[in-house]
Amino acid sequence: MIPALVDHLPALQVVTPLLCAPLCVLVRPGRAAHAIASFGAIASLAIAARLLAEVLDHGVLSYALGGWAAPWGIEYRIDGLGAFTLVIVTTVAAVVFPLSRASVEAEVEPARRHLFYAALMLSLAGMAGIAVTGDLFNLFVFLEIASLAAYVLVAFGRGGPAKLAALRYLVAGTVGATFVLIGIGLLYAATGSLNMADVSARLPQVQQSTALKSAFAFLVIGIAIKMALFPLHAWLPNAYARAPSVVGAFLAGSSTKVAVYALIRVVFGVFGADYAFARLSVDWVLLPCAAAGVIAGGVVALFQSDVKRMFAWSSVAQVAYMVLGAALASAAGLSAALVHMMNHALMKAAIFLALGGIVYRTGAVSIDALAGIGRRMPLTLAGLVVASLGLVGVPFTAGFVSKWTLLRAALQGDAWLLATVIVAGSLLTLLYTGRIVEAACLRSPPPGSVSTGTAEAPPGVLAALWLLAGASVFLGLDTSLTVGVAERVAGALLESAAGRWR
């Protein structure tokens, strides 16, 4: 990379996908837009990887936009947590966007494909912005960019139900964003600043203030709506199930992770663990919600007949796992949450891609439509099963690593009940994965369907699927990439927060 550009990487991380979006609209034909979107995603991954390396080597990067110093101008501030989140989001984008063209062509009208790719780029830009910004109001702006793009993407799904799902997502998301805005306003009123580091440094002076507690409540609830934390999850299942498969793969892989990032950033970065947990005991709210989410998400998923909706419900449970880890407020719990963010992003993206491949061939993803699919699409199904086993937490998959670290973190805190919930959640996942395997391999295809020979998912989708599933197995064997980095990130986060309130 050109040396002069390296200094501007934080800005480029956002600007690259942002510039690709209008280009996608301008070039019009779907194929050219697809090429631009692929370039944008891959370039973003390269930038994110470079940023992570820089941050791990040299510590926090600060970038003053427009040259205005921190509390007055907007600061981009990238630490380990931000860079790690960026890598998660851009990895999903860089695998899904380039390789899933066939799936998009099957599910989105030709006249709107360029708009579809532009919306994908905007969503990516919004998420990148959330992860790099060090300014609270700027966080709100990027949250809204990412969210609006996500509503548009869901609305690309077929027919009225997708539009209704998008509108319900929009209403819930806007209420969440407005809550975040109220929280930011209260924080600003209490401290006079919008810069996260500055706010954080000034908080001890006003720590008795009720306004601060109120601000904390609004921010946490607002972000919890955005990440679909149980019981604020109502918008998610339909939104992900009715969106085009590629959107499901991208959003399930990245959007909720970014919201979890925002929660960790606000709770640990801005308010600090001491304030949030020792003073406000927020774990007494978050842990029950998360535990209930793990169980409820799993149970409801078990009874779904639409496989996409089944895995959308499974996302509700998996997000709850991440919150559970973070709410343990220990280095072990936090790093477990981060590892699970990475692993779940890869596995869920793989699963939705596999479902996209099945939709491409059969036009439907109900359990009944899957009957006998094991013989017709063995590779697609195998990929789906490998990724699902990762979700269960079977040894030698990435999911095992994250569930295991989570379990260990819970046991370290003597939280036996939570440990039971974690294991029970895994069993539920095993059960609904079992339903799919049973239908696909043991049932015979419905009479009347043409089932001669094999008809796999399109090659690109298959490649992306196996790339993600393979990565999930690889990360299950070599944990230094995820656990190693996550432990350093979590340690730094707790260290920077500790001692500020004494």
Residue list 228-287, contact with other proteins (CB under 8 A): 234-235, 237-238
- Range 42-81, binding other proteins (CB under 8 A): 65-66, 68, 71-74
- Range 372-401, binding other proteins (CB under 8 A): none
**Candidate list 95, 104, 130, 186; residue touching other proteins; CB under 8 A:** 186
Closer of 148 and 421 to other proteins (Cβ): 148
Minimal distance, residue 292 CB to other proteins, in Å: 16
- Amino acid 418 reads L
**Candidate list 45, 48, 124, 215; residue touching other proteins; CB under 8 A:** 215
- 273, 267 Cβ separation under 8 angstroms: yes
CA torsion angle 484 488 490 493 (round to 10): -160
Cα(448)–Cα(413) distance, integer angstroms? 56
Cα(439)–Cα(369) distance, integer angstroms? 9
- Range 7-26, binding other proteins (CB under 8 A): 18, 21-22, 25
- Range 317-336, binding other proteins (CB under 8 A): none
Is 214 a binding residue for other proteins by CB under 8 A? The answer is: yes
Cα(143)–Cα(131) distance, integer angstroms? 10
- Range 79-118, binding other proteins (CB under 8 A): 111-112, 115-116, 118
Minimal distance, residue 21 CB to other proteins, in Å: 7
- Range 123-142, binding other proteins (CB under 8 A): 125-126, 129, 137-138, 140-142
Is 211 a binding residue for other proteins by CB under 8 A? The answer is: yes
Closer of 18 and 387 to other proteins (Cβ): 18
Binding part of the chain for other proteins, among 159-167, 314-322, 387-395, 422-430 by CB under 8 A, reads 159-167
Minimal distance, residue 223 CB to other proteins, in Å: 16
Minimal distance, residue 281 CB to other proteins, in Å: 16
**Candidate list 3, 4, 210, 448; residue touching other proteins; CB under 8 A:** 210
Minimal distance, residue 13 CB to other proteins, in Å: 13
Binding part of the chain for other proteins, among 180-188, 333-341, 361-369, 400-408 by CB under 8 A, reads 180-188
- Kindly give, in sequence order, each residue whose CB lies less than 8 Å from that of residue 501, ignoring residues fewer than 6 positions away: 204, 207, 272, 274, 275, 279
Find the DSSP H helices in 363-377: 373-376
Report the b/e string of 32-52 with b at 16+ CB within 10 A: bbbbbbbbbbbbbbbbbbbbb
Which H or E run contains 304?
Answer: none
**Candidate list 31, 50, 163, 375; residue touching other proteins; CB under 8 A:** 163
Binding part of the chain for other proteins, among 188-196, 377-385, 402-410, 485-493 by CB under 8 A, reads 188-196
Binding part of the chain for other proteins, among 29-37, 191-199, 256-264, 342-350 by CB under 8 A, reads 191-199
Residue 87: other Cβ atoms inside 10 A = 22
State both tokens at 45: 């991954």
- Amino acid 36 reads I
Is 155 a binding residue for other proteins by CB under 8 A? The answer is: yes
Closer of 62 and 178 to other proteins (Cβ): 178
Cα 165 from chain centre: 19
Minimal distance, residue 221 CB to other proteins, in Å: 9
Give the closest residue to 387 by CA, choosing from 373, 396, 376, 397. 397
Place of tokens 């927060």: 497
Cα(155)–Cα(244) distance, integer angstroms? 9
Closer of 159 and 363 to other proteins (Cβ): 159
Closer of 99 and 154 to other proteins (Cβ): 154
Closer of 217 and 295 to other proteins (Cβ): 217
- Kindly give, in sequence order, each residue whose CB lies less than 8 Å from that of residue 462, ignoring residues fewer than 6 positions away: 357, 379, 380, 383, 456
Q: 3-class SS at 75?
A: strand
**For 3-123, where are the E strands, in sequence order?**
61-64, 75-78
Angle at 245 between CA 244 and CA 247, to 5 degrees: 70
